[in-house]
């Protein structure tokens, strides 16, 4: 990551909160984007490509609820036996989105 930053790469909220977890045959990726928690998951095959699998997003009423759900989801995957790949300190940016959204959790 240090090399990428030196080359001019700038971290975004998505890259700062992106965490990758795997088991022997499954992957699970989570990101926090504003008031939404986005997950990407699927099976790992010999020709594995991150673009395979399914994606789901869940919108929350406010940033605090989204951050709490993000941490709960990660704790749940760790309990299920998933192992984090590319572990690093995750800094969660301050809320940059609008307050409460109608229809959000």
* pLDDT at residue number 105: 55
Walk me through the domains of the chain, giving residue ranges and CATH numbers: 13-85 (2.20.140.10)
Which tens digit of pLDDT belongs to each residue from 39-54? 999 988 777 666 578 9
- Is 61 in contact with 35 (CB distance < 8 Å)? yes
CA 39 to chain centre: 6
Predicted model pTM? 0.75
* pLDDT at residue number 44: 84
Percent of the chain with pLDDT over 70: 72
Which tens digit of pLDDT belongs to each residue from 72-101? 999 999 999 999 998 877 767 665 555 545
- Is 60 in contact with 71 (CB distance < 8 Å)? no
């Amino acid at each position: 990551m240090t090399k990428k930053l030196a080359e001019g790469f700038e971290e975004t909220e998505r890259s700062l909160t992106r965490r990758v977890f795997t088991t022997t045959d499954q992957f699970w990726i989570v990101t926090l984007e504003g008031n939404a928690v986005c997950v990407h998951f699927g099976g790992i095959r010999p020709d594995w490509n991150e673009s395979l699998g399914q994606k789901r997003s869940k919108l929350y009423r406010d940033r605090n609820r989204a951050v709490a759900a993000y941490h709960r989801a990660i704790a749940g995957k760790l309990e299920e036996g998933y192992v984090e790949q590319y572990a690093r300190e995750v800094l969660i940016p301050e809320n940059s989105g609008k307050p409460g959204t109608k229809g959000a959790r």
